[in-house]
């Protein structure tokens, strides 16, 4: 089994202010750990294309996209909310991040690989149809899911989100779509202040209390995610892979470790092998403690590779 790694140097160009946790060093930390682990040598590397306007408009409103570009034309630095900054190269980086997921879906659906990981930034799962927030401008995983549904005529796509922060944008975009099953776990109550427990239908939210660790995560996954996934039988799985729930990461109060991410990845792989022909696209979301981020990504990818 082979794994495609999709990224682009442009993702490093998105600059933030000195105190901002979402930095280009995040991708460097992942690259360093992939080298140290030996995984770098067995991955198949691809350059992310720029996302197209058509691909973005499947999940984002046209006026929202127009407004982003208009704001950037008039200023060198734009704060879209208290956390989300846009600089001259930000939209290029965001375009590569969303384009990477489209490329990953194409590689998987055309049979070149069964697995793909998108090492990209800025992240995406907080971006709503018409709103940037939480470091996110384009909802990368939503762009990929919509591309899979539209271009490959799929009927059942699962999105699994294990970031420490609730993926409000992804849920909003697919709130009315029975073709997309969303299974998420996150600290609650916490940013962005939404993400109520939901254990039925096509949205399965498993909130975790501050201080929760692997045992609580595993209970929620086994009790709620796995039965929903078995009933849904996804044809493709996309992962919003956030590693900010690691106990070394001060962006949350969860206490996960690498073994927890490996276990979770193994469960996802089992579902994919059973129902989706092994097809998984994983997309980087959070993770801000650099060493923990790199180690967690390695554990995630090793588990997916089996």
pLDDT in tens, the chain (306 residues): 899 999 999 999 999 999 999 999 999 999 999 999 999 999 999 999 999 999 999 999 999 999 998 987 767 899 999 999 999 999 999 999 999 999 999 999 999 999 999 999 999 999 999 999 999 999 999 999 999 999 999 999 999 999 999 999 999 999 999 999 999 999 999 999 999 999 999 999 999 999 999 999 999 999 999 999 999 999 999 999 999 999 999 999 999 999 999 999 999 999 999 999 999 999 999 999 999 999 999 999 999 999
Catalytic residue among 8, 14, 113, 126: 126
Question: pLDDT value at position 265?
Answer: 98
Hey, which bits of 137-262 come out as E strands? 157-161, 180-187, 198-200, 203-208, 236-241
Question: pLDDT value at position 266?
Answer: 98
Question: pLDDT value at position 104?
Answer: 99
Measured distance CA(159)–CA(180) in Å, rounded? 7
pLDDT digits (tens, 9 = 90+) for 84-101: 999 999 999 999 999 999
Element (H, E) at 4: strand 3-7
- The CATH architecture one would assign to domain 3-305 is 3-Layer(aba) Sandwich (3.40)
Measured distance CA(143)–CA(140) in Å, rounded? 5
Q: List the domain boundaries for the chain.
A: 3-305
CA-based nearest residue to 42, from 3, 92, 96: 3
Measured distance CA(142)–CA(285) in Å, rounded? 12
Contact indicator for 87, 81 with CB cutoff of 8 Å: no
Measured distance CA(60)–CA(272) in Å, rounded? 28
Question: pLDDT value at position 227?
Answer: 98
290-305 and 25-37 helices cross at what angle (nearest 10)? 50
Token pair 């059973």 is found at: 274
Question: pLDDT value at position 97?
Answer: 99
Question: pLDDT value at position 217?
Answer: 98
Question: pLDDT value at position 150?
Answer: 98
Q: Which long-range contacts (CB under 8 A, 24 or more apart) does 27-34 make?
A: 27/119, 27/120, 27/121, 29/290, 29/291, 29/293, 29/294, 30/119, 30/284, 30/293, 30/294, 30/297, 31/119, 32/294, 33/291, 33/294, 33/295, 33/297, 33/298, 34/5, 34/294, 34/297, 34/298, 34/301
Question: pLDDT value at position 216?
Answer: 98
Question: pLDDT value at position 193?
Answer: 95
The token pair that represents 230 in the structure block: 């078995």
224 is catalytic: no
């Amino acid at each position: 089994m082979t794994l495609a790694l999709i990224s682009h140097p442009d993702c490093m160009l998105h600059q933030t202010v000195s105190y901002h946790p979402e930095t280009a060093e995040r991708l460097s930390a992942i690259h360093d750990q992939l080298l140290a682990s030996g995984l770098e040598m067995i991955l198949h590397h691809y350059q992310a294309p720029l996302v197209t306007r058509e691909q973005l408009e499947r999940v984002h409103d046209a006026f929202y996209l127009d407004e982003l570009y208009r704001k950037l034309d008039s200023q060198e630095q734009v704060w879209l909310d208290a956390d989300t900054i846009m600089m001259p190269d930000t939209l290029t980086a965001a375009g590569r991040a969303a384009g990477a997921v489209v490329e990953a879906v194409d590689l998987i659906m055309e049979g070149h690989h069964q697995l793909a990981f998108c090492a990209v930034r800025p992240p995406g799962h907080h971006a709503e149809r018409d709103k940037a927030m939480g470091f996110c401008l384009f909802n990368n995983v939503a762009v990929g899911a919509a591309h899979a549904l539209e271009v490959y005529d799929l009927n059942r796509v699962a999105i699994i989100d294990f970031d420490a922060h609730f993926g409000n944008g992804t849920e909003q975009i697919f709130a009315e779509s029975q073709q997309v099953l969303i299974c998420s776990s996150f600290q609650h109550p916490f940013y962005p202040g939404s993400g109520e427990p939901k254990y039925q239908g096509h949205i399965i939210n498993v909130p975790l209390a501050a201080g929760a660790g692997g045992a609580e995560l595993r209970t929620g996954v086994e009790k709620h995610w796995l039965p929903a996934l078995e009933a849904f039988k996804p044809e493709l799985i996309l992962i919003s892979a956030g590693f900010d729930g690691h106990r070394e990461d001060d962006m949350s109060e969860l206490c996960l470790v690498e073994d927890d991410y490996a276990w979770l990845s193994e469960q996802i792989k089992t579902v994919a092998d059973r129902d989706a022909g092994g097809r998984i696209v994983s997309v980087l979301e959070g993770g801000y403690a650099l060493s923990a981020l790199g180690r967690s990504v390695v554990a995630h990818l090793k588990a997916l590779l089996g």
